[in-house]
Amino acid sequence: MQYVNLALFAGLALLCLSMARRTRTEPARWAAATFGVLGLISLAGLALPDEPDDVSAVAVKVVLLGILLYPVALYRFSSSFERLPRRADVVVVAMAAAVAVATIAVPRFPDDDATRPWWFQLYAIAFLADWAGVGAVVARRLWRAGRGLPGVARNRMRMLSVGAAGLALALLPGLVPPADQPIALKIVAMVLPPASALLFALGFAPPMWLRTIWRRPDQAALRRVELQLIAADNRERVLATVLPHVAALVGGIDASFSDVAVASDDETSVISIPVADGYLVVASGPYSPFFGSDELEMVRSLAAFLELVLERTTLLEAERVARDAAERTSAELETLVYGISHDLKSPVISLLGYLEYLREDHGEAIGPDGLHYLDRMEKAALYMQELLSDLLELSRVGRVAVDATDVDLLHLVNDVSIDLRSKFPEARVEAGDLPVIHMNSSRARQLFTNLIENAARHGGRTDITVRLFSAIRDDGSAVVSVVDDGVGIPQEYREKAFGIFERLSPRDSSPGTGIGLALCRKIVETTGGEVGIIDSPVGTHVRIIFPSDAVRPAARPLIEVS
């Protein structure tokens, strides 16, 4: 048993010594001192001769004096993390010194089987009170300090705490003379030291598998934070998500994001990790630098992830700013178009009115040429009026949200074709299976009026036939086709036709403002759909796609409506 203890405590001493050499921190140095003392004592205990003589009596006293160093060193280890009142240090040293003096002063110790005199009993009690009392204080302190810390750090401190408590109790059976000790007490006295040594070793250098288990809850939390970070779309939210978690990982003092690195001071230990354009500044609790290396590793990996997320939010924000600016410009432009068109309308109205009365009151006086000029003036004014109306309408489609209802396109096309009959008496409109679309009814009317009128105007023949039919696609969207048998539009002009003021023929050869198709596109886009001209064997094929959420299907047989 002695050899097992020796091996364990010597191992522990070496572990602490190498830790002290590696980290060069105060706690590590005191840990090395504490367990170096215990290792030496174990070694010395082995060397003590079995037969008591004068030399061995002195040797025993020397070993006992060595043992007295343990509580002092252990206490200094536990107090090296925080600034504590000096008084407690003085008390601990004074207690050890008093017992040391007693050790030297007392006469030769009685043999194991002899009855113990009163002074020896008193001495033993004082010695063990120092040993166990300091051990208990340290055990309690480590346990309490570990409470607020995350998994690995907390568990390491608990290992040390229980180890210290175990060692504190280990010598207490010595109060009873060996001959009088019951067997259970003997077993306890035998088991406690190696068990404590093991716990200390686990606390100072936990093996990987144990760290993994202790880490698990924090790592799960880390995953959750990472998921939240992916969802966060601006810098403030990212930092608000990550900082409290970082703070919790290092013992709950503080974590912040700063433009400059911050150094540690006497009160707190601070690490600054460069992230993106600043630093993740983490102020840790007093125990974290020593016990929280695992958590610091997690903080560093979180910092690397944070860098990626911050870069992403920077890009997103830049994009949003650009988009907002573009939208604002577009909205301002539409407001401007609306204002200008509206104000230009008034003079045109006056012009048309006066022209009318000029012709009525003075037509005879200005002669046939004059009347012809009046006609041209009136045509120009009417064209301008139409242009302004279309522009107003175009700006309104983008600006003003209007009520949507279920519009039966078949009924609508029927109405439209009846309205157009007087303008284009020879044209025919055929409508097949058309869906019901959820949209604004007057805009739907405008859309199909423009499309059918366009075909009749620009088709190049008066007896043009315009056919409308539709199909519902697998995804629920509806494709509505408006096909004529006119001259068609060459491929390269098809997209241009949807631009504002794009006319494919000189103004005098074909009527219309050149806004009609642009308006059509805007109307379709407000439903979330799209419109374009596609290839067709004859004439023009305008294809509208209404999105599934705007479609209310209605199947009907093909009928001729005009």
Partner 1 sequence: MTPVRVLLAEDNEDHRFLTVRALSDLEGVELEIETAADGEEALDAISERRPDLVLLDIRMPKVSGLEVLRRLKADPELRSIPTVMLSSSDRSEDITEAYELGTSSYVTKPATAAGMKKGLRQLGEYWGRLVSLPSGAS
Which residues of the chain form contacts with partner 1 (CB under 8 A)? 342, 345-346, 349-350, 352-354, 356-357, 389, 392-393, 396, 400, 402, 442
Q: Which residue lies nearer to partner 1 by CB, 262 or 371?
A: 371
Task: Using alpha carbons, select from 433, 7, 463, 462 the residue that is nearest to residue 193.
Answer: 7
Give the dihedral of Cα atoms 133, 134, 138, 141; nearest 10 deg: 60
Rg (CA), the chain: 47
Task: Using alpha carbons, select from 293, 296, 277 the residue that is nearest to residue 239.
Answer: 277
Q: CA 366, CA 359: separation in Å to the nearest integer?
A: 9
Question: How many whole angstroms from its chain centre is CA 106?
Answer: 70
> Least Å distance between CB 346 and partner 1?
6
Task: Using alpha carbons, select from 31, 1, 5 the residue that is nearest to residue 16.
Answer: 31
Those residues whose C-beta lies under 8 Å from the C-beta of residue 385, and which sit 6 or more positions away, are 345, 348, 349, 352
Q: Which residue lies nearer to partner 1 by CB, 121 or 350?
A: 350
Q: Which residue lies nearer to partner 1 by CB, 217 or 339?
A: 339
Q: Give yes or no for a contact between 267 and 347, defined as CB atoms under 8 angstroms apart.
A: no
Q: Which residue lies nearer to partner 1 by CB, 344 or 561?
A: 344
Q: Which residue lies nearer to partner 1 by CB, 403 or 535?
A: 403
> Least Å distance between CB 447 and partner 1?
13
Categorise residue 335: left if φ over 0, alpha if ψ from -120 to 50, beta otherwise.
alpha
Give the dihedral of Cα atoms 437, 443, 446, 451; nearest 10 deg: -50
> Least Å distance between CB 371 and partner 1?
17
Q: Which residue lies nearer to partner 1 by CB, 261 or 382?
A: 382
> Least Å distance between CB 445 and partner 1?
10
> Least Å distance between CB 351 and partner 1?
9
Question: How many whole angstroms from its chain centre is CA 7?
Answer: 50
> Least Å distance between CB 345 and partner 1?
5
Task: Using alpha carbons, select from 116, 135, 166, 143 the residue that is nearest to residue 8.
Answer: 166
> Least Å distance between CB 347 and partner 1?
8
> Least Å distance between CB 405 and partner 1?
13
Q: Give yes or no for a contact between 475 and 544, defined as CB atoms under 8 angstroms apart.
A: no
Q: Which residue lies nearer to partner 1 by CB, 274 or 353?
A: 353
Q: CA 162, CA 185: separation in Å to the nearest integer?
A: 19
Q: Which residue lies nearer to partner 1 by CB, 432 or 512?
A: 512
Q: Which two tokens stand for residue 250?
A: 């290092």
Adjacent-strand bridge partners of 508:
none
> Least Å distance between CB 352 and partner 1?
5
Q: Which residue lies nearer to partner 1 by CB, 275 or 391?
A: 391
